[in-house]
Amino acid sequence: MNQNANPSPSGARSPARAYTRGAALPALLQQRILILDGAMGTMIQRYKLDEAAYRGERFKDYGRDIKGNNELLSITQPQIIREIHDKYLAAGADIIETNTFGATRVAQADYGMEALAAEMNLASAKLAREACDAFSTPDKPRFVAGAIGPTPKTASISPDVNDPGARNVTFDELRDTYYEQAKALLDAGCDLFLVETIFDTLNAKAALFALDELFEDTGERVPIMISGTVTDASGRILSGQTVEAFWNSLRHAKPLTFGLNCALGAALMRPYIAELAKLCDTYVSCYPNAGLPNPMSDTGFDETPDVTSGLLKEFAEAGLVNLAGGCCGTTPEHIAEIAKALAQVKPRAFPSQYRDAA
């Protein structure tokens, strides 16, 4: 049993934290299933931006192609990112993610824009903060999740099949890049952190270590959400762990939510969410892709909003989730249908072994 948890009114135990922000989230998660936003990249693609649009005036003479650097748009096209946030909030999202999935020095090295990482995070969090403040009401507060992606590099797996011991990034490099990102996000007003789309547990450990250092340095503590990605039907993340091993490797961080996103659509993700729902002594999250990739569809994925929302409703009615949303291929239309479908469904109760014995 989690000895650091306080009993909730319903008898379930939940992580006890003196949060400086996002303090309302644990109580809200006990009351209802919260809704996360959907895909940022899918929405950006709808704008059909060219190289010049990505560059804007500031980077018009930049010496490398930067189309596809979505995090840069928070600087060069902030009105687009704000509009996307607004659409997800209008659809019913309780939590929106900052446009910072790849806003780290490690990821931005692909574009030679490492020096802009902190600025990207500050700009992105400011946009999300302004959007949430505009939509928040006393009855429906909105929250900014500082999105922390996995980076394109892995600390656990060799990039060279002929040299199993080779690595293209170290733990300390990841920790430093995550600390810089998290500090900027916290400075700009995020309510919580979302360490997401984890394919390498060691990368995630570096992010969580950086967050712990940041909390120690600043004296602030905000909730942490953790979400991994099962890459195929083996039920393992890319670095080889089962979801049970993944949970046990990271539960020390006492996350507010723990779950899965991306890679698989909801139908294929179900057994792994069901496993976590039995294991976790915290709240369970699920934000799947809109099915499998389909280049012929409008979003690039198979599922329409009614299909994705129907699957997540079944998850909810089976008592598997506390927070739901969408990943690749999902849109404000998907989130609106998910919010509607889950509105009257009770959130997952904690497993009996984690209920207050009293």
Eight-class DSSP state of 189: T
User: How many Cβ atoms sit within 10 Å of the Cβ of residue 64?
Assistant: 10
User: How many Cβ atoms sit within 10 Å of the Cβ of residue 304?
Assistant: 18
Where helices occur in 47-96 by DSSP H, the ranges are 51-55, 73-76, 78-91
190 is in an annotated binding site: no
280 is in an annotated binding site: no
Cα separation, 125 vs 134, in Å, equals: 14
327 is in an annotated binding site: yes
Order of strands, edge to edge, in the sheet holding 323-324?
34-35, 323-324, 283-289, 257-265, 224-228, 192-198, 143-148, 95-97
Query: Which tokens hold the place of 288?
Result: 């799947």
Cα separation, 72 vs 187, in Å, equals: 19
Residue by residue, DSSP assigns 275-344 as: HHHHH-SSEEEEEEESSSB-TTSSSSBS--HHHHHHHHHHHHHTT--SEE---TT--HHHHHHHHHHHTT
Q: What contacts 137, CB < 8 A, 6 or more positions away? A: none
- Cα-to-chain-centroid distance, residue 299: 20
* Region for 240 from its dihedrals, namely left if φ exceeds 0, alpha if ψ lies in -120 to 50, beta otherwise: left
**Burial of 212 from C-beta contacts in 10 A (0-12 / 13-18 / 19+):** middle
Cα separation, 125 vs 117, in Å, equals: 12
Cα separation, 207 vs 211, in Å, equals: 6
Q: What is the enclosing helix (H) or strand (E) of 104?
A: none
Query: Which tokens hold the place of 241?
Result: 């762990």
Cα separation, 131 vs 134, in Å, equals: 5
Annotated binding-site residues for Zn(2+) read 262, 327-328
Annotated binding-site residue numbers: 262, 327-328
